[in-house]
Amino acid sequence: MERRDFLTAVAGTSLALTPLLSKAQAKSTPSRNPETLPMNSGESKRYRPKHRVGLGGAIGLGDMRKILTEKEAFELIHTAWDEGIRYYDTSPWYGLGLSERRHAMLLSAQELGSYEVSSKIGRLLEPDSGYNHDGWDGVNNFNYFYDYSASGTRRSIEDSLHRMGVPSLDMVFIHDLSPDNDDMGENWKEYFQTALNGAMPELIKMREEGLIKGWGMGVNTIPPAKAAIEQSDPDIILLATQYSLLKHDDALHQIFPLAQEREISFVLGAPLNSGYLAGNNYYNYHYGAPERIHQKREQYRKLAKELELDLRTAALHFCNAPDVVSAILPGASKPEHIRENMASLTSSVPKEFWDEAKQRGLIDENAPVPS
């Protein structure tokens, strides 16, 4: 069977993979009901995930910045499930396959329909003994190459299904096709043209076939996301680092209105700017932040202290406020990070915080805030 026919053959069936855990082993009583977390109405013309909060699979499960043992990874992802999270986002790029394999420790044993999952295309993996990329700690034994063609898209999704032990993906994002990708730089436009002629029509076809529910770009900058909306027919954009308490003006004015016109929604990655708004010293995947960003965080901290508020709580609620946003994806490297995030999302922020933040010029006057 050819790779491009594989997905059609398995649609509606389960892959013949042995799960890492039996269903009995994987089931546990949730400490938090998923229905208590923010939800979407399901009334949108285009696909939106049911759950407005998910788990980003790069920082912890991909061994970014820290090596997790398999026991620690198991505890991390099962804590997410127990805390009510039912949307999981990953990528072949995260840990060069490691994050997807670790998702299998949970998802392969769950009933189809009890969770939502998104992964990405654009990089294909190939065995390379001892290879280690600077972005991922540890030795992962896989190298990568770019492929945004139609056939590469089908192959990438097939590979992801095998690694995760699941029969289908809800959402697929075209990954890192962006000028901030060091492998591309300004050549991103050439890769974009390949995707425009290859990956995008193929994903539209897969959506029409019912193999996926929605697709879009998964990027850290606005230009490629905007270009995809203008030149193709995406449903949902994973936009990371571009909308948070610390930086939101460009997204708010340059791309949110365009997406809203076409009923396209956003999943926001890095709502805490890689944990910077939660108190650590990493900003957008790198150690340290520009001075203006540091000073802005200090102003927010001062305001939050005045109102006896956890800044993390305000940051997560701010990202979840716009109608054009369908989900947020905070990452985590420890179970307590997940518990803290979920506690924030089930609490509230006083109106005084939003009023004062806008008055002090910290938040754009037109930015939506929770009512």
Q: What's the rounded Cα separation, in Å, for the pair 160 and 90?
A: 9
4 found inside a domain: no
**How does the average pLDDT of the chain come out, rounded?**
92
| Mean per-residue pLDDT, 230-248 | 98
Which domain CATH number covers 127?
A: 3.20.20.100
Lowest mean pLDDT among 4-13, 41-50, 190-199, 236-245: 4-13
* Domain that residue 88 falls in: 19-359
Render pLDDT for 61-106 as a digit per residue (tens, 0 to 9).
999 988 999 999 999 999 999 999 999 999 999 999 999 999 999 9
Cα→Cα distances 70→75, 185, 293, 341, Å: 9, 35, 35, 23
222 found inside a domain: yes
Q: Is the pLDDT of residue 246 over 70?
A: yes
209 found inside a domain: yes
pLDDT of 371 reads 85
Residue from 158, 172, 25, 20 nearest 102 by CA:
20
| Mean per-residue pLDDT, 8-30 | 42
9 found inside a domain: no
213 found inside a domain: yes
The DSSP result for 214-230, as a single string, is EEEEEESSHHHHHHHHH
Q: How many domains does the chain have?
A: 1
Q: How many beta carbons lie within 10 A of that of residue 160, not counting itself? A: 24
Answer yes or no: are the C-beta atoms of 271 and 319 closer than 8 Å: yes
205 found inside a domain: yes
248 found inside a domain: yes
Q: In 322-367, where does DSSP find H-type helix?
A: 335-345, 351-359
pLDDT of 5 reads 53
Q: Which residue has better confidence, 1 or 253? A: 253
pLDDT of 18 reads 36
Render pLDDT for 30-41 as a digit per residue (tens, 0 to 9).
578 998 899 999
How far separated are the first and last CA of the chain, in Å rounded?
A: 54
Q: What's the rounded Cα separation, in Å, for the pair 300 and 279?
A: 12
Answer yes or no: are the C-beta atoms of 169 and 117 closer than 8 Å: yes
Residue from 317, 275, 256 nearest 64 by CA:
275
Render pLDDT for 250-300 as a digit per residue (tens, 0 to 9).
999 999 999 999 999 999 999 999 999 999 999 998 899 999 999 999 999
pLDDT of 2 reads 52
11 found inside a domain: no
What band does 8 get if pLDDT is binned at 50, 70 and 90?
very low
Render pLDDT for 106-148 as a digit per residue (tens, 0 to 9).
999 999 999 999 999 999 999 999 898 888 987 889 999 999 9
Q: In the chain, where does DSSP find H-type helix?
A: 3-10, 23-26, 70-82, 98-107, 150-164, 188-197, 199-209, 222-231, 249-250, 256-261, 291-306, 311-319, 335-345, 351-359
Q: Which residue has better confidence, 287 or 226? A: 226
What percentage of residues in the chain have a pLDDT greater than 70? Answer: 92
pTM above 0.75, yes or no: yes
pLDDT of 11 reads 44
pLDDT of 15 reads 36
- Give bridge partners of residue 144 from the DSSP assignment: 125
Report residue 308: phi and psi, to 5°. 55, 50
Q: What's the rounded Cα separation, in Å, for the pair 188 and 369?
A: 34
